[in-house]
Amino acid sequence: MLHSITEKLDSEIAKYNKPANQINYQRWFKEKLKHPVGLKTEFLKKISNECFKDIKSLPKKEILAICNELFIADKQHYRYFANEWTLRIKDKLDKSDFPMYVAWLTEYADNWGTTDALSGGPIGIILERHPELYEQTSKWTASSNRWLRRAAAVSLIPAVKNRNLLNRVFEIADKLLLDDDEMVQKGYGWMLKEAANQFPDEVFEFVMARKEKMPRTSLRYAIEKYPAAMKKKAMAK
């Protein structure tokens, strides 16, 4: 089955693979991408829609096995399809699937795009359903891997609407508070910004209590959606 899927993917990619349909993704990344030029997202979605038809009726276990093979294959665009197809069956994802996505993140994520797609996607979805896994993801804040530290924050974004998890958002932000990596600072700042959509008073109080120590990058991200007067108050030294 995998062979027929990859053959069809390759055929569809070749069909659309012309300069007018391509984009240079490197412009959004400081890290050097292995495949900087690729198909625009609109064409990747068309290919994804066409090829997923061949596997959508399979059991979840078989779909995820195919996705795993695609993700670990060193081939352009395959990881996009692997992640996108798992999200098409997101309602079926559970705790038993978590290790596969953590392996993808730990072994293959080397930029913010892959990190956020995984941690804000399947990892975050499963974490929201199984909060006990938070004990595992919270340990990522101490990792030497910058992308795991960022993922510790981004993985909570799907669950920030849940008041019961707000303390965990603050705990992660505190653990990452003085991290000197810009991508980590942006990650937990983004998490706080999303939490502020649901709990503006609580997040603002949290930020104000730490604004003297919080890196300005994180602070700007966290308060981005507040009224101008509140932004000014938070940014004042």
Overall average pLDDT of the 158-173 stretch: 89
Q: In whole angstroms, give the CA distance from residue 214 to residue 223.
A: 12
Mean of pLDDT over the chain: 95
What does DSSP assign to residue 123? I
pLDDT number for residue 194: 96
Asked whether 225 and 193 are in contact (CB, 8 A), the reply is yes
15: confidence class by pLDDT, cuts 50, 70, 90? very high
pLDDT in tens, 208-218: 999 999 999 99
* Cα Rg of the chain (Å, integer): 19
Alpha carbon separation from 30 to 25, 39, 95, 192 (Å, rounded): 11, 20, 34, 24
Residue reference for tokens 């705790």:
95
pLDDT in tens, 167-203: 999 999 999 999 999 999 999 999 999 999 999 999 9
32: confidence class by pLDDT, cuts 50, 70, 90? confident
Residue reference for tokens 């096995």:
65
How far is residue 194 CA from its own chain's centroid? Answer: 14
Q: In whole angstroms, give the CA distance from residue 44 to residue 46.
A: 5
**Can you list the positions of beta strands (E) in the chain?**
22-24, 37-39
11: confidence class by pLDDT, cuts 50, 70, 90? very high
Residue-range domain boundaries for the chain: 1-92
Number of helices and strands (H, E) in the chain?
14, 2
Residue 37 in this model has a pLDDT that exceeds 80: yes
Residue 162 in this model has a pLDDT that exceeds 90: no
pLDDT in tens, 92-119: 999 999 999 999 999 999 999 999 999 9
* Residues constituting the chain: 237
80: confidence class by pLDDT, cuts 50, 70, 90? very high
pTM: 0.93
33: confidence class by pLDDT, cuts 50, 70, 90? confident
pLDDT number for residue 16: 94
- The continuous run of DSSP H or E covering 21 comes out as none
On the 0-12 / 13-18 / 19+ scale of CB atoms within 10 A, 69 is: middle
Token representation of residue 103: 């392996």
